[in-house]
Each structure stands twice: as structure tokens, then as C-alpha cells.
Amino acid sequence: MRSGKTDWRHQQENFVDHPYLQSTLREMHAILQSRRLWLTFLAVLAIFIVTGPFGTSETMSFADRLLYWTIIQAGAWTFAISFSIIANSIFAGSIGNMLTRMMIGSLTAALPIGLLLTITNRVFSGKEMGFGPFLQSSLSSLPLCAIFCLLSYLTACQALETAADAVTETNGDARREVKSAAPLLERLPPQKRGALLRLSVQDHYTQIVTTRGHQLVLLRFADALKEIGQTEGLQIHRSHWIADADVVSLRKQAGRLHVITGDGSEIPVSRSYNAAVQARFAALVPTR
């Protein structure tokens, strides 16, 4: 039973730690905190409700327009902004320009927005549903998607610039200290910049573990090893490096040597590194 719970916990942690998800959540959080974005949304929504474009002023009451345009605008903004942020994370390694990445995602959002328009028009006006109306609604939403993308892009740039300035002003001395100890830590959020404990490969990413948490960074493992600075440690596997301070004990299982870390994690040692590990941690070598 404990094993099942442990596996489920590990699955949840892996899901939360997925690089695309982490990047998306960070950008979404930054954008949702933008006062300018919310004010723009409310202003656009108010204009649509009051003026009643696309014939809604003649066919709907004020109350109906209030509900109709709130559904349409909220849904359209949500789809366009979410898709643009997701695309920005997914294509970060293949497309250099941030605006291009976000625009691809935002324009793709025209499809779910078109479906939303088709369904909402059916409910409020009894209009026909089908591929034709859906395609027309999707095409008509493309300009709005582009506008939403530009707003998201400007908001994201402003948020990143503000965050960078804040870190520079408040943590200048701390960052210089971190750089001298391990330049790699500068790639982490300030709240996770603790003592470096270990590095592990995960696909094209390197997982950095410190005394303040862990973070996936888009960085080759070989490049990460060049940035450990003055941290004493040893590579024990082609996919793992561990700091001396994180090694608690060594254990042999089925003829394979493993390193036990401070948090109880068990990391395998490659046979080619066995001698180096046993020599470095001679006092911890198991007796059998």
C-alpha cells in the first residue's frame, strides 16, 4: 500500500515538475497579475456590452448582452492567452522569437473560440450549428486572437522586466555571492537558491536540487557541470552529479552500488565510477 502511495506521489511530482507546465504556470501567473491587462479586458467588455456590435443591440436586451459578451470575451481571452503561453513554452527550443511563438498559439486558439461562438450563438439567438458557422466564427476571431496575443506579449515582457529589475535591486549582493559559489544557481528562482546538492539529467533538461528545492532548467548536463563553481562533489553516473555534503551513505544492491542522499533518495552509481566513489567516500563504503 505504501509503495502505491509513493508511486502516486512521484507521478504527481513529475507532472508538476514537467518543464512545459512549470514555464506555462510562471508566465500565466505573471500575466494574470497585470493590472493593465485586466483594465483592458474590462474596458473592451464594457464597450461591447454598451454598443452591442454585430447586431446584438437590436436582438438582445441589455441583460442578455451583458451575459452574452461576458461569456464570449472571457472565453476568447482565456483561450487566446492560454494557447499563446503554452506555445511559447513548447516552441522555446525551436523558435527564437517570443512573439512568433505566442502568435502561433494565439491564432490556433481561433478554433476553440469559433466553437464557443457557434454554441453561444445557438443558445442566445437560435442560429444554426454546423461546420460552416463554426468555420466562419473561427475565421472572424483571428484578428481578435492576434490582438489578444500582442497584449499578452507586452504584459509578459513587462512582467519579466519588472521581475528582473526587482531581483537586481534587492539581491545584487546575494547574486554575486551565489555566482562565486556556483554560477549555476543564478539560473534558479531566488527562492530556490540554496546550497547545491545534486544534478540529474531529464530529457534535454537538467534537474538542479538545492537545500531550498529543485528546478528543471533547459541546459545540457555537461554545461551544468561547468557551472558548479566551488561546490565539492563528484559525478557518479553519466546522468548524475552529487555534492559531497549530500552523501549520507553507500549501499550495494544486486551487485550495484547506490548513493543515499540526505533526503533519502537513492542514486545509482555507474560501474565506471565505482572506484572513484568508493575512494572518495571510503568511510561510507558498505561492508558487504
**pLDDT tens-digit profile of 144-196?**
788 877 777 776 666 555 544 444 444 444 444 444 468 888 888 888 888 99
Quick: pLDDT tens for 257-274: 999 998 888 999 999 998
Quick: pLDDT tens for 211-234: 998 899 988 999 999 999 888 999
CATH (domain of 223)? 2.40.50.1020
Give the pLDDT confidence score for residue 1 in this predicted structure.
Answer: 46
Domain-terminating residue out of 168, 201, 230: 168
- What separation in angstroms does the CA of 257 have from each of 236, 244, 251, 268? 10, 16, 6, 6
0.75 exceeded by pTM: no
Q: Based on the fold, state whether residues 152 and 194 are members of the same structural domain.
A: no
Does residue 174 sit within a domain?
no
Does residue 176 sit within a domain?
no
Q: Which of 38-47, 68-77, 159-168, 202-211 has the lowest mean pLDDT?
A: 159-168
Domain-terminating residue out of 134, 168, 202: 168
Q: Which of 4-8, 182-186, 245-249 has the lowest mean pLDDT?
A: 4-8
Q: Based on the fold, state whether residues 8 and 135 are members of the same structural domain.
A: yes
Structural domain total, the chain: 2
Is the pLDDT score of 49 beyond 70? yes
Mean pLDDT of 108-129: 89
Q: Based on the fold, state whether residues 196 and 163 are members of the same structural domain.
A: no
Ranges of H-type helices in the chain: 2-16, 19-32, 35-51, 56-59, 62-90, 98-108, 110-125, 131-140, 142-170, 172-181, 221-225, 274-280
Domain that holds residue 193: 184-284
Quick: pLDDT tens for 88-116: 777 766 777 878 888 898 889 899 999 99
Rounded CA-CA distance 105/83 in Å is 5
Q: Based on the fold, state whether residues 105 and 44 are members of the same structural domain.
A: yes
Domain-terminating residue out of 168, 200, 231: 168
Mean pLDDT of 129-140: 87
Give the pLDDT confidence score for residue 186 in this predicted structure.
Answer: 87
Q: Based on the fold, state whether residues 47 and 154 are members of the same structural domain.
A: yes
Does residue 202 sit within a domain?
yes
Within 13 Å, how many C-alpha atoms sit on residue 275's CB side?
A: 1
Is the pLDDT score of 16 beyond 50? no
Q: Which of 18-22, 99-103, 157-161, 235-239 has the lowest mean pLDDT?
A: 18-22
Does residue 59 sit within a domain?
yes
Binning pLDDT at 50, 70 and 90, where does residue 243 land? very high
| Closest residue by Cα to residue 240 from 283, 272, 285, 282 | 272
